[in-house]
Structure 1
Amino acid sequence: MAQQGRRLAVYKKILQDNVKRWMIKEFLEYKLARLGYIYSEVLKTPLGTRIVIYAERPSRIIGKKGAVVKELSQILSAKMGVDNPQIDVIDISKVDVPEMFPKVIAYRIANAMAKGIRFRRVAFVAVRQVTEAGARGFELVISGKLSTERAKFEKYKVGKVYKSGNDSMKTVRRAAVHVLLKPGIYGIRIAIAPANAKFADDFKIKPPVKQETQQS
């Protein structure tokens, strides 16, 4: 019974750590949504908790003399109970091409629409940027009061984007962003198959090899 109690305590600790990691990521995404935030990693170290933030514009997240990072560290420590948070901000372009990340494209579209640019023009620009970056597949869905008082959606698709199966879960990158404009809330949903993506149905046909016959 004592051994079973210890096991349950370990499982409970793992669940608590996972919940706290999820809460940290949700908080960072909410707090830094307009500052070029893409995604983050939360790592436990002997000195505390290391948080790596990947951003399109690191300077905006760091802030003047690190003011934004200091504020984030204080909130994470005081209100969320994060042990000694250490925040690092990395430029997403050092990891991969920015156009291969759906959230980068989604925020670009949202910011352009907030400035009054027509959604179709923004959509065609996004399609061109992603295809020129070498993506194997790209799908964009914009929903809301696009041209009438009734909500509808428009879809733009180029290349191959899987909707189900292992390739859809492991290879295709997805993101959804919402933007509030005067007519109402607009949804921007993006799926990208990166340039270096390898699908399960990729194959190459090797040319036949000629075998030399031995003459007796």
Structure 2
Amino acid sequence: MAAERKFVAENIRRVLLKEYLMKEVSRAGFGGLDVQRTPMGTRVILTTERPGLVIGRRGQTIKNLTTVIEDRFGFENPQIEVQEVENASLNAQIMAEKLAFSLERGWHFRRAGHSTVRRIMDAGARGCHIIVAGKLTGQRHRTEKFKDGSIKFCGEPKAQFMDHGYAVAKLKMGVIGVTVEIMDKESKLPADINVLNKTEAAAVLPDLFAAPAAAPVEEAEAVQEAQ
């Protein structure tokens, strides 16, 4: 049981670290977190929309975060690496936070949901699935879903190609949970096949379409003598 408890404690510590960083760098647009253990210490890769706000003036903000990660969460010699998101519209966590912020500003949930789906699909995503749950129009809990494109709900394609993000919008009626799932535009599903014509196939597999080599003269004569 010692090994199992060790793994559980490590995962809990990483989840608490993620929640803390999501709150601290919310203004910079939190896009994801990756913690890697190295021989030199702990490498923390933080993905944000605006890295300058995380680094701070003369690196003071990132130094404070490093101190907190080491003292409060117990990571040995943490080294924070800040990366910028290539396309914020294709990052599920950033889009979930933007959608939650739109709901807090008073946008109607249908308008905000359709607008977010349209923005994600215009950025080139292969598919998008948004779930908004909470007290949307009255005292009773409701769940609304918005989707477009190709989406996978289970199996290896979901784990490999679907990016997941979650955020909470705090309103007077109560909290509203926002879940955003985006399928990568570069994803190649097992059912995706390309049928090539003879010319294209010959260029890809020249050995398969090559003419058979002629038999040596000595072998041909030996065959005739045997007959």
TM over 0.5: yes
* C-alpha contact (below 8 Å) 2:96/2:178 kept by paired residues: yes
* Alignment match of 2:191 (pick from 201, 206, 216): 201
> Is 1:80–2:73 an aligned residue pair?
yes
Q: How many residues align?
A: 200
* C-alpha contact (below 8 Å) 2:94/2:165 kept by paired residues: no
What percentage of aligned pairs have identical amino acids?
28
C-alpha distance in structure 2 between counterparts of 1:28 and 1:44, whole Å = 18
C-alpha distance in structure 1 between counterparts of 2:138 and 2:33, whole Å = 38
* Alignment match of 2:96 (pick from 78, 101, 106): 106
Bigger CA drift: 15-24 or 142-151? 15-24
* C-alpha contact (below 8 Å) 1:161/1:193 kept by paired residues: yes
Correspondence for 1:121: 111
Correspondence for 2:129: 139
Structure-to-structure mapping, 1:126-205, within 5 angstroms? 126-205=116-195
CA offsets per residue over residues 43-83 of structure 1, 9 Å max, x none?
Answer: 33343322121001212222333333122111112222222
The unaligned stretches of length 5 or more in structure 2 are: 203-208, 210-227
**Matching residue's letter, 1:66:** G
CA offsets per residue over residues 153-180 of structure 1, 9 Å max, x none?
Answer: 2211111101112111221111221111
Query: Matched residue of 1:103: which SS?
Result: helix
Q: What RMSD over aligned residues (CA atoms) do the two structures have, in Å? A: 2.7
**Matching residue's letter, 2:127:** G
C-alpha distance in structure 1 between counterparts of 2:121 and 2:59, whole Å = 36
Q: Which is greater in Rg?
A: 2
Q: Shift of the alpha carbon at 1:29?
A: 3.0
Q: Shift of the alpha carbon at 1:26?
A: 4.0
Correspondence for 2:218: none
CA offsets per residue over residues 114-136 of structure 1, 9 Å max, x none?
Answer: 22222222222211111111111
**Matching residue's letter, 1:101:** N
* Alignment match of 1:55 (pick from 48, 54, 75): 48
Correspondence for 1:5: none
C-alpha distance in structure 2 between counterparts of 1:137 and 1:191, whole Å = 8
Query: Matched residue of 1:130: which SS?
Result: helix
The unaligned stretches of length 5 or more in structure 1 are: 1-7, 212-216
